[in-house]
Amino acid sequence: MLQFFFAYILIIAVANLIWEIAHAPLYTIWIDGTRAEIAFAIAHCTFGDVLIAGSSLSLAWLIAGRRGWPDKNYWRVAGLSLLIGLTYTVFSEWLNISIRESWAYREAMPTIGPLNTGLSPLLQWLIIPSLIFAWLKSAMRR
């Protein structure tokens, strides 16, 4: 379990760093911020992504997979982890965009749902963990 967790966190950190760099132009900081502010925002968000991923996986493991995981109940824990991460992301985007006004989307950011959540953060939390869970499951079979 611990070896899987560390592999997952390491890979998710790299993948989220790449995603954060790629979607930074969809936020107003890309236009309004200095290079240092943009770099700090990317690092800060990547660190937050790692915390969300680690917490989501840990909570999902506690709820659905303590015995024999990752050999047993792999997809149950992975799916629950995805759901937790996605739910937190929607909440965090709403809180930081609408309430705290900590950051803002540019017009280029497509939004969906009643909370006007950015499509890029939603896809980030659907695509990255899904691919990593699938890849690690495949690697475990070897």
Q: What's the rounded Cα separation, in Å, for the pair 65 and 83?
A: 15
Nearest to 125 by CA among 3, 15, 2: 15
R_g of the chain computed on alpha carbons: 16
Q: What is the pLDDT along the chain (142 residues), one digit of tens a residue?
A: 789 999 999 999 999 999 999 999 999 999 999 999 999 999 999 999 999 999 999 999 999 988 889 999 999 999 999 999 999 999 999 999 999 999 999 999 999 999 999 999 999 999 999 999 999 999 988 7
Q: Are residues 97 and 20 in contact, defined by beta-carbon separation less than 8 angstroms?
A: no
Which neighbouring-strand residues pair with 117?
Answer: 112
Q: What is the DSSP letter of 112?
A: E
